[in-house]
């Protein structure tokens, strides 16, 4: 690792540089609930990672002490408290602050109080880092999506599915249950965990800023037309595939599809709703996924307690490498709810925005 250029962490829309002076190791990955893990790390104040991000709000109390309130869903309180309160006590001892957490069954902000602004900010960073790591352990609840389920696309997808089952049905692990529902074909931009009503409301508000902040600026008077052509797989071995996806491209656009996808996701990163893991959005439309696999009784492998079974995509790639699924004009971007189905067969949405060129906005 180059200690002069350490990795950064995005927490609640702010970007921090993370350094461990004793080990020269960066604190990343997931932590156990009672494994605090930040004692030796130095978290420098905000660094410039592109864009503007919210400041940490610290107020001065009448008694001369400093206080900051941290909006945290009650789901994550246990991660901050730790086993027998050990994590909370350790943060308090390290930063010479007091941390007040709502009681069991209650909701509200976590409040940090200390004698100086610097230690209050340090305690807040440690709490936010713990919440960020806890969030990564949770199954995601929502995802930002572009529906890709127009009738012409669905028809070509069903022809693809029929062709795969007829020509490649004998390939290991290939069966009808692992194909996507044609009503739910979509381009995923990012996934997120929205743990309470406050976060869900914030996500909808963030989505509603995207037409002005992103779409009208980047579309520059053009309509957004996309095509899906060609297939690809997620991992390195075509014989051991979990996800097969369709490749998507913009047909005509002043800015690339990659630019608009990255810019939409960046709005959610700045709002602190998405942890930035990759520099670019992976543009893909899932066609086959082993997570959909069901047995003869309709039970998924996850519910049955079985590991996911991969499938061999070698023959599929040979037969359908350049398969054309069609083109469509994008009309909406959705904040979709995982594991739901709306009346039209697509996912239910917590929020939607229209995709209109500047001349129509």
* Contact yes or no for 356/333 (Cβ under 8 A): no
pLDDT at 307: 82
Q: What is the pTM of this model?
A: 0.78
* Least confident span in 18-32, 81-95, 289-303: 18-32
Assign 331 a pLDDT band (cuts: 50, 70, 90). very high
Mean pLDDT for the stretch of residues 293-308:
72
Can you give 293-361 as a three-state secondary structure string?
CECCCCCEHHHHCCCCCCECCHHHHHHHCCCEEEEEECCEEEEEECCCCCCCCCCCEEEEEECCCCCCC
Assign 171 a pLDDT band (cuts: 50, 70, 90). very high
pLDDT at 51: 45
Residue 313: both structure tokens together? 């995509």
pLDDT over 90 percentage in the chain:
64
* Domain boundaries, given as residue ranges, for the chain: 8-137, 142-354
Assign 329 a pLDDT band (cuts: 50, 70, 90). very high
More confident residue, 56 or 316: 316
**Does CATH number 3.40.50.300 belong to domain 142-354?**
no
Assign 135 a pLDDT band (cuts: 50, 70, 90). confident
pLDDT at residue 140 is higher than 60: yes
Mean pLDDT for the stretch of residues 139-148:
96
Domain 8-137 adopts which CATH fold? Ribosomal Protein S8; Chain: A, domain 1 (3.30.1370)
* Contact yes or no for 114/91 (Cβ under 8 A): no
Give the separation between CA 29 and CA 129, rounded to whole angstroms. 11
Mean pLDDT for the stretch of residues 181-210:
96
* Contact yes or no for 186/149 (Cβ under 8 A): yes
Q: How many CB atoms lie within 10 A of CB 300?
A: 14
């Amino acid at each position: 690792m180059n200690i002069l250029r350490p990795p950064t962490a995005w927490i609640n829309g702010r970007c921090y540089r993370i350094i461990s002076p004793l080990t020269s190791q960066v604190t990343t990955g997931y932590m156990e609930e009672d494994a605090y893990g930040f004692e030796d790390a130095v978290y420098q104040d905000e660094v410039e990672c592109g864009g503007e991000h919210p400041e940490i709000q610290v107020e001065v109390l009448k008694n001369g002490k400093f206080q900051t309130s941290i909006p945290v869903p009650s789901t994550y309180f246990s991660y901050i408290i730790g086993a027998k309160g050990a994590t909370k006590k350790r943060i308090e001892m390290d930063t010479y602050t007091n941390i007040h957490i709502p009681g069991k069954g209650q909701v509200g902000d976590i409040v940090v109080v200390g004698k100086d602004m610097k230690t209050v900010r340090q305690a807040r960073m440690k709490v936010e880092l713990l919440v960020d790591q806890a969030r990564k352990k949770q199954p995601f609840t929502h995802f930002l999506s572009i529906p890709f389920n127009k009738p012409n696309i669905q028809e070509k997808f069903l022809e693809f599915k029929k062709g795969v089952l007829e020509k490649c049905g004998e390939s290991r692990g290939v069966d009808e249950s692992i194909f996507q529902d044609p009503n739910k074909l979509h381009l995923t931009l990012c996934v997120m965990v929205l743990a309470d009503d406050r976060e869900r409301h914030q996500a909808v508000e963030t989505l509603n800023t995207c037409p002005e902040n992103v779409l009208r600026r980047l579309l520059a008077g053009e309509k957004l037309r996309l095509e899906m052509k060609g297939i690809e797989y997620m991992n390195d071995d075509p014989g051991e595939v979990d996800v097969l996806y369709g490749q998507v491209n913009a047909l005509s656009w002043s800015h690339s599809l990659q630019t608009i996808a990255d810019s939409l996701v960046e709005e959610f990163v700045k709002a602190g709703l998405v942890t930035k893991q990759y520099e670019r959005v992976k543009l893909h439309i899932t066609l086959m996924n082993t997570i959909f696999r069901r047995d003869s009784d309709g039970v998924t492998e996850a519910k049955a307690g079985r590991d996911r079974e991969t499938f061999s995509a070698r023959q599929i790639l040979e037969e359908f490498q350049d398969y054309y699924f069609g083109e469509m004009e994008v009309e909406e971007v959705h904040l979709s709810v995982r594991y739901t189905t709306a009346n039209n067969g697509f996912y239910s949405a917590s929020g939607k925005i229209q995709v209109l060129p500047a001349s129509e906005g």
